[in-house]
Amino acid sequence: KQEVTQIPAALSVPEGENLVLNCSFTDSAIYNLQWFRQDPGKGLTSLLLIQSSQREQTSGRLNASLDKSSGRSTLYIAASQPGDSATYLCAVRRADFGNEKLTFGTGTRLTIIP
Q: Please tell me whether residue 100 binds other proteins under the rule CB under 8 A.
A: yes
Q: Please tell me whether residue 105 binds other proteins under the rule CB under 8 A.
A: yes
Q: How far is the CB of 34 from other proteins (least distance, A)?
A: 6
Q: Please tell me whether residue 89 binds other proteins under the rule CB under 8 A.
A: yes
b/e map 33-42, b = 16+ CB within 10 Å:
bbbbbeeeee
Q: Which of 14, 43, 83, 114 binds other proteins (CB under 8 A)?
A: 43
Q: How far is the CB of 39 from other proteins (least distance, A)?
A: 10
- CA angle, residues 105, 102, 30, in degrees to nearest 5: 95
- Report whether 107 contacts 88 (CB < 8 A): yes
| Residue 72 burial (C-beta neighbours within 10 Å; 0-12, 13-18, 19+) | middle
Q: Please tell me whether residue 57 binds other proteins under the rule CB under 8 A.
A: no
Q: Please tell me whether residue 42 binds other proteins under the rule CB under 8 A.
A: yes
